[in-house]
Amino acid sequence: MPSTRPTCSNKHQQGRDLARKGACHTDVVHPYFSDETTPIAFAHRGGSPTGAENTFAAFEQAVSLGYQYMETDVHTSSDGVAVVFHDHDTARMTGEPGSISRRTWAEIQKLRVKGEPIPRLDDLLAAWPDVHWNIDLKTNASVAPTIKAIQRAGATNRVLLASFEGARLLRVRKVFPQFATSVTRGEIAALRLFGRKPAGGLAAQVPIRYGRLTVLTPRFIESAHAAGIQVHVWTIDDPTVVRELLDMGVNGIMTDRAEVVRGVYQERGLWKK
C-alpha cells in the first residue's frame, strides 16, 4: 500500500529545501518513491563513461557508485523476450544493422555492445533486487513482456513505466493501475499551460528545453508540485546545471555521467552512500 507523507505548509520554501523534501504537496507516496526524501539521481542507461549503454557492465558500475535508481529501455524480441536496448535498429550500438524486434532472443544474444552482451529485463531485475528502475517502453509490443518480467521478479513496487507515446501509458494505467507511470506529453502540456492536474502518472519527466521551447521553469515545477507530481529532468551531464536544477527544486536528475552527478550530490550532502 502507498505510504503517507505529511502535506507541507503553504509557506514559500526555498529551492534547496524543496529539492530535499521532494514534491511538497504529495500526500500519498507510491512505494517506488517512499524511501526517497532527496532528489533522485538516475543513471541514464546505466550512465556509462565508456558508452556501453544498457549493459550489465554499465549498471554494475552505477551500482558500485551508489546509484539505486536506473533509467533503461525495453524492446521485445520476435519471440517475446523483454530486451534491454534503446534503439529500434541495432546498427549504432552493435555495428550490425537490423531491427531488434525482428530478431529472436537467440540472435540477439550473439550481438555485442562495446564487447558486452545485450541483457534481458528478467536478468537485470534479478541481479539487483534493491535497485529501482525507470523503464521506457519503446513499443506497444514491449508492454506485455515487460509487465510479465516485472511480475515474475516481484518488482512492481520498484519500477516506474515511461513512454513518449501517451496512449501506451494510458493503456498501462487502465490495465495495471498498481504500476507507477510517468506523466504523458499531453498531460505535461496541460500542466504547463493551464496548471491542469494529470489524471494519472506520478512524475513529469522532461528536458530543460524542447527545441526553442523552455519546458522547465519555476512555474512548471510549482504547478507540478501543487498537483502532487514529481519533476525529473533529462539528460544532464554538466555539474553547473545539476546545481541549478537542485536549487530550482526538481525531484530527479537523469545523467549519462554518473560520477559527475554523484560528485555534486556529495558536495551538498545528498549522497547516501
pLDDT in tens, 118-160: 999 999 999 999 999 999 999 999 999 999 999 999 999 999 9
Residue 146 lies in a domain: yes
pTM over 0.85: yes
Residue 90 lies in a domain: yes
Read off the CATH number of the domain in which 215 is found: 3.20.20.190
Residue 19 lies in a domain: no
Query: How many structural domains comprise the chain?
Result: 1
Per DSSP, helices labelled H in 154-205 are: 166-175, 185-194
Active site residues: 44, 86
- State the pLDDT confidence band at 102, using cuts at 50, 70 and 90: very high
The domain of 183 spans 39-267
Residue 28 lies in a domain: no
Mean pLDDT of the chain: 90
In DSSP notation, 103-139 reads: S-HHHHTT-EETTEEPPBHHHHHHH-TT-EEEEEE-S
Residue 13 lies in a domain: no
Contact status, residue 254 vs residue 71, Cβ threshold 8 Å: yes
Residue 202 lies in a domain: yes
Q: What's residue 20's pLDDT? A: 38
Distance CA 95, CA 63 (A): 27
Residue 15 lies in a domain: no
Handedness of CA 82, 85, 86, 90 (dihedral sign): negative
- State the pLDDT confidence band at 71, using cuts at 50, 70 and 90: very high
Residue 244 lies in a domain: yes
